[in-house]
């Protein structure tokens, strides 16, 4: 199974997984590989490493897709039949643009953007990255300019935040909870006073009246716009559930990311979201083929002398501790996945931070089963 097969007929690929497992580079390598096959692809990244951002040229035009020069790709040794586009998400800006678009007039938009609750809401915390990432994804999808959109998900506390945070945020914006407690008074909203329920009285005692007032003002400003948020949240959810969307889980072979991937797979399946497969990065393959790491010493001693040979053997032993660890973890993942696709990328000699690195990664991601076996065999040869 290759990534090309996983993404057959898909218009959106969401790369999810825990932090530090290579999601950004994997997303970029997927986009690159699909572009090489003739598709018009855009990769939406959140916070790429400097050198990768440079390689993709995403900093020149923030928050809008930007075409990666075919010449740049050709120089790295790849003739791309399609087009590779990349963009770096700016959550605050995406949020502001959304307000500009749905506000009835510019004055209202400005008032909202100046509101303290809004400013807090659109800051980096509280799921706004997640919310704006899917909002942007939706806009790009609606524009129908690309065959495939690849989304690199934000570095959440846990990978599910990416799914929950937008819902949390939109349900807050929709304000149904608070709407029950406040009622319109002219253009603003007045917090129910004397006629308040004991519940509201309790709430005021806990939160203080100012916070409630601020929230009420904020919702007053939003007014009918909350309907748009609600509609949009529904559309985004439909988009994420569509059978033209593919969730690809990315993990490393270490224990915790693997556990997270297993759990996330289960969660996606239970939630009815279109799971496509798992990519395991940085796997240490067994290079011993039944021998012991120590067996290498006598032969190396002749070439290197005993001290250096001992250190090479020690390094080889340590490498295989990791190979055994990875084997245990990947096997556990495979068992949990059953027949679902599982793609393994070996620990590459260097970290991936440039186009050459993405190309190396792409070879593994886009190889057919037989090519993959050959590539892995090459590691041992």
Rule CB under 8 A: say whether 287 interacts with other proteins: yes
Nearer residue to other proteins within complex by CB, 53 or 150? 53
Query: Which residues from 352-381 bind other proteins, rule CB under 8 A?
Result: 353, 380-381
d(CA 93, CA 209): 31
Rule CB under 8 A: say whether 322 interacts with other proteins: yes
- Closest approach of Cβ 381 to other proteins, in Å? 7
Nearer residue to other proteins within complex by CB, 144 or 157? 157
Among 59, 81, 145, 351, binds other proteins (CB under 8 A): 351
- Closest approach of Cβ 55 to other proteins, in Å? 12
* Alpha carbon 106 to its chain's center: 33
Which range binds other proteins by CB under 8 A, 29-37, 62-70, 113-121, 334-342?
113-121
Rule CB under 8 A: say whether 139 interacts with other proteins: no
Which range binds other proteins by CB under 8 A, 132-140, 141-149, 225-233, 306-314?
306-314
Nearer residue to other proteins within complex by CB, 81 or 318? 318
Outline where 144-282 has alpha helix (H).
161-174, 176-179, 198-207, 209-222, 225-241, 255-270
Query: Which residues from 248-277 bind other proteins, rule CB under 8 A?
Result: 252, 255-257, 260
- Closest approach of Cβ 48 to other proteins, in Å? 9
CA dihedral defined by 291, 258, 378, 309, rounded to 10 degrees?
-40
Nearer residue to other proteins within complex by CB, 238 or 294? 294
Q: Alpha carbon of 32 to those of 150, 315, 380: distances in Å?
A: 10, 34, 27
Secondary structure class of 183 (helix, strand, coil): strand
Rule CB under 8 A: say whether 100 interacts with other proteins: no
> At a CB cut-off of 8 Å and minimum separation 6, what does 123 contact?
92
Return the structure tokens found at 297: 């010493």
> At a CB cut-off of 8 Å and minimum separation 6, what does 60 contact?
66
Among 37, 54, 126, 267, binds other proteins (CB under 8 A): 126
Rule CB under 8 A: say whether 295 interacts with other proteins: yes
DSSP assignment string, 151-181: EEPP--SSTTHHHHHHHHHHHHHHTHHHHTT
Q: Please return the burial class of 369, using the count of CB atoms within 10 Å of its CB with bins 0-12, 13-18 and 19+.
A: exposed
Among 221, 261, 276, 300, binds other proteins (CB under 8 A): 300
Query: Which residues from 222-251 bind other proteins, rule CB under 8 A?
Result: none
Query: Which residues from 159-218 bind other proteins, rule CB under 8 A?
Result: 168-169, 171-172, 177-178, 180-181, 198-199, 201-211, 214-215
CB 275 within 8 A of CB 269: yes
- Closest approach of Cβ 161 to other proteins, in Å? 9
The H or E element containing residue 95 is: helix 91-102
Which range binds other proteins by CB under 8 A, 59-67, 133-141, 222-230, 321-329?
321-329
Among 9, 79, 157, 272, binds other proteins (CB under 8 A): 157
With CB under 8 A, what is the number of residues at the site for other proteins?
Answer: 80
> At a CB cut-off of 8 Å and minimum separation 6, what does 275 contact?
246, 247, 249, 265, 268, 269, 340
d(CA 99, CA 113): 8
- Closest approach of Cβ 92 to other proteins, in Å? 13
d(CA 366, CA 115): 48
Nearer residue to other proteins within complex by CB, 106 or 335? 335
Query: Which residues from 329-348 bind other proteins, rule CB under 8 A?
Result: 347
Which range binds other proteins by CB under 8 A, 48-56, 73-81, 99-107, 219-227?
48-56
Which range binds other proteins by CB under 8 A, 16-24, 26-34, 76-84, 132-140?
16-24
> At a CB cut-off of 8 Å and minimum separation 6, what does 286 contact?
320, 323, 324, 327
Burial profile 39-69: b = 16 or more Cβ within 10 angstroms, e = fewer = bebbbbbbebeeebbebbebeeeebebbebe
């Amino acid at each position: 199974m290759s990534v090309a097969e996983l993404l057959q007929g898909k218009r959106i690929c969401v790369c999810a997984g825990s932090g530090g497992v290579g999601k950004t580079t994997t997303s970029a390598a997927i986009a690159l590989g699909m572009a090489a096959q003739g598709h018009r692809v855009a990769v939406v990244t959140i916070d790429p490493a400097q050198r990768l951002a440079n390689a993709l040229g995403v900093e020149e035009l923030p928050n809008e897709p930007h075409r990666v020069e075919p010449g740049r790709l050709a120089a790295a040794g790849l003739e791309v039949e399609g087009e590779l586009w990349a963009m770096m998400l700016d959550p605050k800006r995406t949020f502001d643009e959304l307000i500009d678009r749905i506000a009835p007039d510019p004055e209202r938009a400005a008032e909202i953007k100046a509101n303290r609750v809004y400013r807090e809401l659109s800051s980096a915390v509280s799921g706004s990255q997640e919310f704006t990432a899917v909002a942007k994804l939706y806009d790009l999808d609606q524009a129908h300019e690309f065959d495939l959109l690849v989304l690199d998900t934000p570095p959440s506390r846990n990978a599910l935040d990416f799914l929950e945070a937008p819902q949390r945020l939109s349900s807050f914006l929709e304000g149904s909870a608070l709407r029950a407690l406040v009622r319109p008074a002219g253009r603003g909203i007045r917090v129910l006073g004397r006629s308040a329920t004991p519940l509201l009285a309790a709430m005021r005692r806990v939160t203080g009246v100012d916070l409630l007032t601020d929230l009420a003002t904020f919702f007053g400003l939003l007014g009918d716009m909350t309907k748009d948020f609600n509609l949009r949240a529904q559309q985004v959810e439909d988009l994420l559930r569509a059978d033209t969307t593919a969730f690809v889980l990315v993990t490393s072979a270490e224990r915790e990311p693997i556990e997270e991937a297993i759990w996330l797979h289960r969660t996606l399946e239970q939630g009815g979201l279109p799971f496509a497969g798992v990519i395991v990065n940085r796997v240490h393959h067994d290079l011993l083929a039944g021998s012991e790491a120590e067996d290498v010493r006598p032969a190396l001693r002749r070439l290197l002398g005993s001290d250096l040979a001992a250190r090479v053997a020690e390094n080889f032993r340590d490498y295989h501790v990791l190979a055994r660890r990875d084997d245990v973890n990947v096997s556990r993942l495979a068992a949990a996945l059953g027949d679902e696709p599982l793609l393994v990328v070996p620990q590459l000699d260097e970290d991936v931070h440039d186009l050459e690195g993405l190309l190396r990664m792409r070879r593994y991601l886009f190889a057919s089963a037989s090519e993959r076996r050959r590539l892995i065999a090459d590691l041992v040869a």
